[in-house]
Amino acid sequence: MKKFLLIALVITLVAGIASTAFAVTEIRFAWWGSVGRHAIYNEICDLFEAANPDIKVLREYSEWNDYWDRLTTQAAGGNQPDVMQFNSYTIAEYSSRGVLMDLEPLVEQGLIDMSDWDPVTKDIGRRDGILYAVPFSYTIPAVFVNTSYVERLGLEIPDPNVTMTFDELADFILEVQNALDEQGIEAWALQDPGKFENFFETFIRQRGKTLIADDGTSLGFDRQDVIDYFTWIDNLRQAGAVPPAEIMAEEGSQPWENSMAVNRRVVMLMSNSNQAKVYQRYMGEDELEIYRIPVDPKAAARFVDFFTNNIEAQRVLDAEHGAPTSPIVSAALTPEFDRIIQSQIRHTNQVKETVPPYYGRPAGVNPIIDGLFICSDEIAYGVKPIERAVDDFMREAERAVRRLR
């Protein structure tokens, strides 16, 4: 069972800054991203201001880690921006602090148009029945395969329309590694996915499990789930199909343009589907394929609606965060998108048709994810055997859940 990661815009319960000299309303908009993304967002803001001369967008942007550090400080002081970029993992954390606005009245007034949206997509922005966020892009955990690399190895490319089982995927990974070894290529079939928490969450959701149980006071997965997850990865590592921990530490966290995929050090990796576009940008002629695994809230609402539903704005965005959520936008722009984005949209639509809605993570789940990373490192470096590392992880995860009660 896959899950959606929605990139969304939220409106906060803070007072914005109003300019009285020209009767222009100013709203603060914050987002994270790279230099390239900042240019895209600035262009969208310029388009919005041209279409809405009575509103000025004050722009606050930073890299991923700095974004959340700054936002935490701003929220603690009641000084968060009027409109903020969120993903579905973080909505509950901030809605539980009482800093996000209920957007339903703005939707009912027609200021944010979601009239043609399917209920699943619209409701992913809800927490406890309240609409806190308007998603503007989909992205879904997936397996990226350098199909050009696979062809050069003399292997058959899997059909992206056919979903493999975990056993079938493992067999294909080992087949790729055997071909690499036979041809004397110093590379690995799969980049280590152990610390890709979205893969872990997808893994347990396929078993009908969640990070936190519905009662909000206990873990939604058990010890055997974690053992099976790391065993699947470690079996591939022991077979030489996943890079050793030392290689991952040196090469696995490089920027996209110097990543293991771009440098042909791995044939496959797991990531969120919107990242395929970024990797493809640096891969030359090699092709990737995606496989399934505010003073005036009305001003802010107009900006959210424009960002989400305006075709020209979404054309500029160019699926930076994934497939457009608006059906009208998607229908208008899909024929214009390049091959890798169309592949991502196809993948998204396949998953949407077959999985239940995903409403993000509950507040307080971060210590569990941090513990999962520690567990992954301990196994990868051989510090602890899988069962001991998992026992330690489960003990700390259960302690974290008890703090939620």
Please report which confidence band the pLDDT of residue 312 belongs to, taking 50, 70 and 90 as the band edges. Answer: very high
| Structure-token pair, residue 313 | 């704005």
Angle among Cα 196, 202, 204 to the nearest 5 degrees reads 110
94-109: string of b/e by CB count within 10 Å (b at 16+)? Answer: bbeeebbbbbeebbee
Of the listed ranges 26-40, 159-173, 357-371, the least confidently predicted one is 357-371
* 3-class SS shares of the chain: helix, strand, coil, % to 5: 45, 15, 35
**What topology is assigned to 141-272+364-402 in CATH?**
D-Maltodextrin-Binding Protein; domain 2 (3.40.190)
What's the predicted TM-score (pTM) here?
0.75
pLDDT score for 287: 94
Higher pLDDT, 13 or 223: 223
> Mapping DSSP to helix (H, G, I), strand (E, B) and coil, where does residue 348 land?
helix
According to DSSP, the β-strands at 133-139 and 126-127 are unpaired
Q: Residues 114-143: what's their mean pLDDT? A: 86
Q: Which positions ≥6 away from 169 have C-beta within 8 Å?
A: 143, 293
Give the highest mean pLDDT range of 123-137, 183-197, 273-287: 183-197
Q: Say which CATH architecture domain 5-139+294-352 belongs to.
A: 3-Layer(aba) Sandwich (3.40)
Angle among Cα 318, 347, 260 to the nearest 5 degrees reads 75
DSSP structure class, residue 164: P
Q: Residues 351-367: what's their mean pLDDT? A: 75
pLDDT score for 92: 82
In this structure, what are the phi and psi dihedrals at residue 10, rounded to the nearest 5 degrees? Answer: -120, 155
Distance, CA of 34 to CA of 123 (rounded, Å)? 29
pLDDT score for 122: 84
Question: Hey, where are the domains in the chain?
Answer: 5-139+294-352, 141-272+364-402
Please report which confidence band the pLDDT of residue 325 belongs to, taking 50, 70 and 90 as the band edges. Answer: confident
Distance, CA of 340 to CA of 330 (rounded, Å)? 15
pLDDT above 60: residue 2: no
In this structure, what are the phi and psi dihedrals at residue 318, rounded to the nearest 5 degrees? Answer: 55, 45
pLDDT score for 3: 37
- For 84-96, how does the pLDDT look when each residue is reduced to its tens digit (9 = 90+)? 998 877 888 888 8
Q: Residues 21-32: what's their mean pLDDT? A: 80
DSSP class per residue in 269-301: EEEETTHHHHHHHTSTT--EEEE-----HHHHH
pLDDT score for 20: 35
- Helix 366-380 vs helix 223-238: angle between axes, to the nearest 10 degrees? 40
The answer to whether 5-139+294-352 and 141-272+364-402 have equal CATH topology is: yes
- For 181-202, how does the pLDDT look when each residue is reduced to its tens digit (9 = 90+)? 999 999 999 999 999 988 999 8
- For 38-81, how does the pLDDT look when each residue is reduced to its tens digit (9 = 90+)? 999 999 999 999 999 999 999 999 988 899 999 989 888 888 89
Residue 121 near residue 325, CB atoms below 8 Å: yes
pLDDT above 50: residue 1: no
DSSP class per residue in 181-237: HHTT---EEE---TT-HHHHHHHHHTTT--SB-TTSSSBSS-HHHHHHHHHHHHHHH
Please report which confidence band the pLDDT of residue 294 belongs to, taking 50, 70 and 90 as the band edges. Answer: very low
In 3D space, the residue among 222, 335, 339, 319 whose CA is nearest the CA of residue 272 turns out to be 319
pLDDT score for 298: 78
pLDDT score for 212: 87
